Amino acid sequence: MQIIDDAQVAYEAYRNHTGGISLASGQPIPEWAQLRPDIQSAWKASADALREQIMCPVHHSLDVRNELDPFDQCVACMRVERNELRKLAQPITGQTSDGYHTFDELYAHRIALWMALCRHHQSWKSRKHSDGSEIRGWFVLGIGTNAGEQVTYHLPDRLWDECGFAVTLERAPEWDGHTSNDVLERLRLL
């Protein structure tokens, strides 16, 4: 029986740790097989109490302690949870939603807001970065040309003509290394 084994393991670990001497009396303590039944029962109760403390709360609340070893129950529980998570996990796409908006909707909003803001500021657009590289199917729409003031986003090429309000540049100004946090701060200052 597993509980007896755990009780015996715990008792023998105590016995080995103390060198086979009782910390209470200083007398030698017997091996597991020579213990009186009531002492073995007390160690079993200790092992059982420890199991209760470390048992998965789901299995503890369902009172299935006698069906499986608690450690096996928790491993089984982890397998079930992992499999359930796999079922729930789906690839993130433009249709992935937070329950209110999809990524596609949020990006469409961001693009519309960015274009509206650029209409009211000196803005520029370019298909090429300052080094001449480009991302096929995208262009850069930006505000500010000097380091420390730039705010830029890549937009899909299909919106190029709708951004006729922006000055067209052969190449974008040299990127000043702005981060997402820099952009948020610069947007607040516009």
Domain boundaries of the chain, sorted by first residue: 2-88, 103-189
Specify which residues 139 forms β-bridges with: 155
Helix (H) / strand (E) element for 57: namely helix 57-62
Q: What pLDDT, on the 0 to 100 scale, is given for residue 62?
A: 46
How far is the C-alpha of 153 from the C-alpha of 79, rounded, in Å?
A: 43
Q: What is the largest CA-CA distance in the chain?
A: 95
How far is the C-alpha of 173 from the C-alpha of 158, rounded, in Å?
A: 22
DSSP class of residue 187? H
Cβ contact 155:137 at 8 Å: no
- C-alpha dist (Å) from residue 14 to 7, 24, 73, 137: 11, 12, 27, 71
Flag whether pLDDT at 20 surpasses 50.
yes
Helix (H) / strand (E) element for 151: namely strand 151-156
**For residues 176, 181, 185 and 190, what is the CA-based torsion angle, rounded to 10 degrees?**
60
Task: Render pLDDT for 124-136 as a digit per residue (tens, 0 to 9).
Answer: 999 999 999 999 9
pTM comes to: 0.54
Cβ contact 15:29 at 8 Å: yes
CA atoms within 13 Å, Cβ hemisphere of 127: 8
Residue with the larger pLDDT of the pair 172 and 47: 172
Flag whether pLDDT at 1 surpasses 50.
no
Q: What pLDDT, on the 0 to 100 scale, is given for residue 43?
A: 84
How far is the C-alpha of 16 from the C-alpha of 21, rounded, in Å?
A: 9
Cβ contact 126:141 at 8 Å: no
Flag whether pLDDT at 7 surpasses 50.
yes
Indicate the length of the chain as a whole number.
190
Question: What is the gyration radius of the CA atoms in the chain, in angstroms?
Answer: 34
Q: What pLDDT, on the 0 to 100 scale, is given for residue 13?
A: 85
The vertex-39 CA angle with 36 and 45, nearest 5°, equals 140
Task: Render pLDDT for 78-122 as a digit per residue (tens, 0 to 9).
Answer: 555 566 666 666 788 888 888 888 999 999 999 999 999 999 999
